[in-house]
Amino acid sequence: MVTATGSTEGMNCAQGTCACASAGTLRVAVLVSGRGSNLQALIDAQRRGGMPIELVLVASDKAQAPALRRAERAGIATLALDPRGYTTRAAFDADLFARIGALAPDLIVLAGFMRIIDPAALAPWQGRIINIHPSLLPKYPGLHTHARAIAAGDPTHGATVHYVTAQLDGGPAIAQAQIHIVPGDTPDTLAQRLLAHEHELLVACVDLIARERVRLDGTIVKLDGVALRHPLCIGGDQSPAA
């Protein structure tokens, strides 16, 4: 069974709001599975003004995700679909992305969306979907990144915003935030210290895309038309290694 929050076609649109962005703004849909702190960073940045985006939808695979409640409080349309109501992962992804596509976003942001997406669903969004991942990719794709960095004895850790491809956490990187791992760090303390840097990183990357300064050209990330040799360094407490 498909569960969805709200009214028409599984959408929940707060009274007095609509999914239409103002002229000159980037229409952004955000996919979430959990608490939504990165989503909140985008909401706060939009409210402060100066970032030309319109958050047109927040969608989740978990109807009880706290991130959806954040979106509702901000007057953003929400969508919740239950993967258990579909016969295959591909069928779920196809329906999810069809519903997202109906709102015609310019960019999809995966902000703690804890699912591997079917390549067929991703294909039409090439260059228009990004993810934030809590490691200095290509190190530690997948889960438990903080514990893996500590166990490896790494001196630094961080987060990466990258374009999404069919390869798990393997798409072209836009930018990274890097912090030191300090003696006594645990996965929890490291994750907590990194979180604020993640927020800054994601907001900055979305802003660069909205201003048409960053784009994906094939497999190459370009900033102001120039190919990046390395991911940009945004936030953190030191620059990423060359």
pLDDT tens-digit series, residues 14-34:
323 333 334 489 999 999 999
In a 3-state reduction of DSSP, which class is residue 139?
coil
* Count of helices and strands (H, E) across the chain: 6, 12
Mean pLDDT of the chain: 90
pLDDT class for 50, splitting at 50, 70, 90?
A: confident
Q: Where are the domains of the chain?
A: 26-233
**CB neighbour burial string for 192-218, b if at least 16 within 10 angstroms, e if fewer:** ebbeebbbbbbbbbbbbbbeeebbbee
Q: Are the C-beta atoms of 12 and 81 separated by less than 8 Å?
A: no
Task: Give domain 26-233's CATH number out of 3.40.50.170, 3.40.50.280, 3.40.50.300, 2.60.120.10.
Answer: 3.40.50.170
pTM of this prediction? 0.88
Per residue in 157-209, pLDDT (tens digit) is 999 999 999 999 999 999 999 999 999 999 999 999 999 999 999 999 999 99
Write out the catalytic residue numbers. Answer: 133
